[in-house]
Structure 1
Amino acid sequence: MIRPIPMLLAGLFISASCAAAPATPSDDLALQHAKALLARVPLVDGHNDLPYIIREHPKYHGDVAGYDLRQHTDGETDIARLKAGGVSAQFWSVYVDGALKSGWARTQLEQIELTKRMIARYPDSFMLATTSADIMKAKRAGKVASFLGMEGGHVIENSLGALRAYYDMGVRYMTLTHNVTLDWADAAADEHRHGGLTPFGREVVREMNRLGMLVDLAHVSTDVMQQALDVSEAPVIFSHTGARALAPIERNVPDEVLKRMPANGGVVMVYYVPEFLNKQALAWSDELKKRTPKGASPADKKAIYEAYLKEAGPLPRVTVTDVADHIEHIARIAGKDHVGIGADYCGGNDPEGLKDVSTYPVLFAELIKRGWNDADLAKLAGGNLIRAFAKAEQVAARLQKERQPSLATVELATTR
């Protein structure tokens, strides 16, 4: 039985609102307040690339036992630091490089299998999760609800049957594109060939709605964002993104899309990627990209980077305040019911103050100092994502009664 969404979160928000934040707390008081809050309410992060790091690590090459999360790892994520950060649920990105010439589906299967082995290896700390209700279940058990999120629709290889198979394996969101434009959807970072979604692309969104798989619009073109919102009957998410008004790159969400979030019910989850968080860092990164030819070898990229570093200096300073600025902008335009956290740890550099998964309380302390109350912080931490996810599950239950699995193909994109 699907419980009404307000009942799922009522206790969470009532308990969270009992302690109001001080008007001007000190840094220490704000951090203590943040840690206490995250001990009570679920913190859900929308994107962490740890499985890809384990796969590509030059020492471990996919050996989840060798890359021991019970120890302090050489990356940004391990069990002790997840607990210190108050993480209750994590969408682990099962990322496959869209630049691969072949083997997308095979590699995706391998990444799903690797991630499930990683989760199963730590039963005292991780719980494989597939439903919105699993988040609170895991928190009560003192575990991290561990979801699978596919980053890039190239892995379905134009097959709705493959999409359904991935759902059956436990995947609960799919980013429609990564950085490569597909046969059916334009990526923000690649050529825009379709003006957004093709008819088959729209059918992908409809089938994801029918399954209960969250439609993730991180990485897609603005036209895809708008058209997916036109099509989707369920809340969408942006698993890791920012506000374009503060850092003008198409990868970030423009205000005209943010304004549509209340009607859709979706959640825009803010990342910690320095290059995409302020204009100075974005300009520095853009210039480096211009100097790096497509197809450059790793050695050439390193040489270009080192030469650029000598000429231009390091990446301009990006701090926790930049992340908080993006959260506040999105909250101001879309509303505080439509913003969340998708840090993108293990995906690159991090802002000052947010060096690893132990530091989520630092961000919440910054927002406490800015006057955010506990009820709104609880929504940001996880309440908004839980609500959107539960609504997507409700939509799926209805749609599965109304229509059969779609037999549309990329060549003949009609519902049959």
Structure 2
Amino acid sequence: MKRIAILLAATALSACSAAGDKPQAPPPPLHSRMLVLDTHLDTPLHFERQGWNFADRHDLATDLSQLDIPRMRDGNLDGGFFAIYTEQGPLTAAGYAAALAHARKRSDLIDKMIADNSGVIGAARTADDARRLNKEGKLVAFKSMENSYPLGEDLSLLQEFYEKGVRLAGPVHSANNEFADSATDKPRWNGLSPLGKQWVAEMNRLGIVIDASHSSDATFDQILQLSKYPILLSHSSLRSAHDHPRNLDEGRLRKLAEKGGAMCISTIFMSEMNMSPARAKLFGEYEHIGEMTPEAQAELTRQWRELDKTEAMWAADFEDYMKMVLRAIEVGGVDHICFGADWDGGGGLKGIEDISALPKVTERLKAAGYSDADIEKMWSGNILRVVAAQGK
């Protein structure tokens, strides 16, 4: 019987050949057929490194970066929001001036990366831009601002960063500032400051999506109440997965969904961060990796990987991550979940160490019974819906 089946198959192939037809190639895997975006990419801190190129492939064993163009292709990450991150400093005129200079430089570095790789990546300002670039076969580069501290007390600077391409911004980072209370600091304003409330109004006027990651619960509540348009959490985890103030509780996720927003699920704070003195020292150096010589960069990576062997930074793995993702979908619904793992900013877990692992997430979502359309909503549709909703 097996021989008959083989002969029949050969006859069918021969008939196709005689007719000039080629056997149909199987469709590409589901993950590669979708538009896949991440809302928080800290990779711009690498863009000024000596001897480092975003277009080159880097190895986790010898380099701390989790994102580059070749690995974006591996994981079918089509793009996302490249962050202008500014470390919180003093609330003084000098502090604001230094922060503004840093933020402008970081924005320029993102522009330079896009210009240097213009054949494969393009700048996006709108949801339509992202879809157009994707159809052209190009990667998508939005800009975001993590921490509005560089604005100082001059809200007119938001217009400057809007013109530079920023389409997502959060008021605060790991410490309170002039705009709001942070999730990881003691309350000062009990939410937004008076200037922070004006910041919300100006964000709405310009059409920049508000990012509530890093905001305290009270800050989140007030942003949700005041914003005329849906908001995002660009890189947050569920508090029910790990009780940490940086994470969002399920009740607030439901309220976010009711207002049309979306929570982009991160890989961070699914456990306490193992910030030992040795790790803290390396993190402090990592923030300034762009100022290091190639030799110093290599030594930092060597020490980091050696420390990884004896003390993991996070006590969670891919299985824990997917359990949280599925719970978040159950609570918020498929229209209000997205992804922002915090690549190059402390994200990544065992089993999902860099972006090449992203297809595994899609496979698990499919195995859990979610439709292709719902999975694509979570990878990009919900993000682009929120972007498009600003100002409408």
TM superposition score normalised by structure 1 = 0.75
Corresponding residue to 2:32 among 34, 39, 44: 39
Corresponding residue to 2:355 among 354, 357, 365: 357
Aligned to 1:7: none
What is the distance in 2 between the residues matched to 1:297 and 1:144?
31
What is the distance in 2 between the residues matched to 1:125 and 1:237?
27
Is the CA contact 1:241–1:251 (under 8 Å) kept in the aligned structure 2? yes
What is the distance in 2 between the residues matched to 1:297 and 1:377?
37
Is the CA contact 2:47–2:54 (under 8 Å) kept in the aligned structure 1? no
Please show how residues 70-89 of structure 1 align to structure 2 within 5 Å.
70-73=55-58, 74=63, 75-89=65-79
Greater than 4 Å deviation, 4+ residue runs: 291-294, 296-299
What is the percentage of aligned positions where both structures have the same residue? 27
Is the CA contact 1:184–1:201 (under 8 Å) kept in the aligned structure 2? yes
Q: Secondary structure at the match of 1:205?
A: helix
Corresponding residue to 1:94 among 74, 77, 84: 84
Does 1:191 pair with 2:186? yes
Q: Secondary structure at the match of 2:134?
A: helix
Please show how residues 314-353 of structure 1 align to structure 2 within 5 Å.
314-315=312-313, 317-353=315-351
Give 1:268 shift. 0.3
Aligned to 1:23: none
Is the CA contact 2:338–2:378 (under 8 Å) kept in the aligned structure 1? yes
Corresponding residue to 1:162 among 157, 162, 184: 157
Is the CA contact 2:266–2:340 (under 8 Å) kept in the aligned structure 1? yes
> Quick one: which amino acid aligns to residue 71 of structure 1?
D
Distance 1:170 1:297, change over 3 A: closer
Aligned to 1:285: 274
What is the distance in 1 between the residues matched to 2:160 and 2:391?
17
| More RCO (CA 8 Å, sep 6+) | 1
Is the CA contact 1:187–1:220 (under 8 Å) kept in the aligned structure 2? yes
Give 1:215 shift. 0.2
Give 1:54 shift. 2.9
Distance 1:361 1:297, change over 3 A: closer
Give 1:367 shift. 2.0
Corresponding residue to 2:42 among 33, 44, 49: 49
> Quick one: which amino acid aligns to residue 55 of structure 2?
R
Give 1:383 shift. 0.8
1:125-152 deviations in whole A, cap 9, x for unaligned?
Answer: 1101111111110110111110110000
What is the distance in 2 between the residues matched to 1:133 and 1:215?
19
Supply the RMSD in Å over aligned alpha carbons.
Answer: 2.7
Distance 1:203 1:297, change over 3 A: closer
Corresponding residue to 1:105 among 91, 100, 109: 100
Please show how residues 263-274 of structure 1 align to structure 2 within 5 Å.
263-273=258-268
Corresponding residue to 1:119 among 114, 128, 132: 114
Q: Secondary structure at the match of 2:390?
A: helix
Distance 1:71 1:226, change over 3 A: same
Does 1:243 pair with 2:238? yes
Aligned to 1:28: none
Larger Rg: 2
What is the distance in 2 between the residues matched to 1:217 and 1:242?
12
Is the CA contact 2:142–2:165 (under 8 Å) kept in the aligned structure 1? yes
Distance 1:144 1:198, change over 3 A: same
Q: Secondary structure at the match of 2:173?
A: coil
Give 1:320 shift. 1.7
Give 1:371 shift. 2.3
1:99-147 deviations in whole A, cap 9, x for unaligned?
Answer: 3745011111000001100111101211011111111101101111101
Q: Secondary structure at the match of 1:76?
A: coil
Does 1:203 pair with 2:218? no
Is the CA contact 2:37–2:379 (under 8 Å) kept in the aligned structure 1? yes
Please show how residues 225-240 of structure 1 align to structure 2 within 5 Å.
225-240=220-235
1:231-273 deviations in whole A, cap 9, x for unaligned?
Answer: 0010100011111111111111112211112321111001122
User: For this pair of structures, how many residues does the alignment match?
Assistant: 338
Is the CA contact 1:152–1:176 (under 8 Å) kept in the aligned structure 2? yes
Gaps of 5+ in 1: 1-31, 61-65, 395-416
What is the distance in 2 between the residues matched to 1:88 and 1:336?
20
What is the distance in 2 between the residues matched to 1:329 and 1:393?
31
Gaps of 5+ in 2: 1-25, 287-299
> Quick one: which amino acid aligns to residue 335 of structure 2?
D
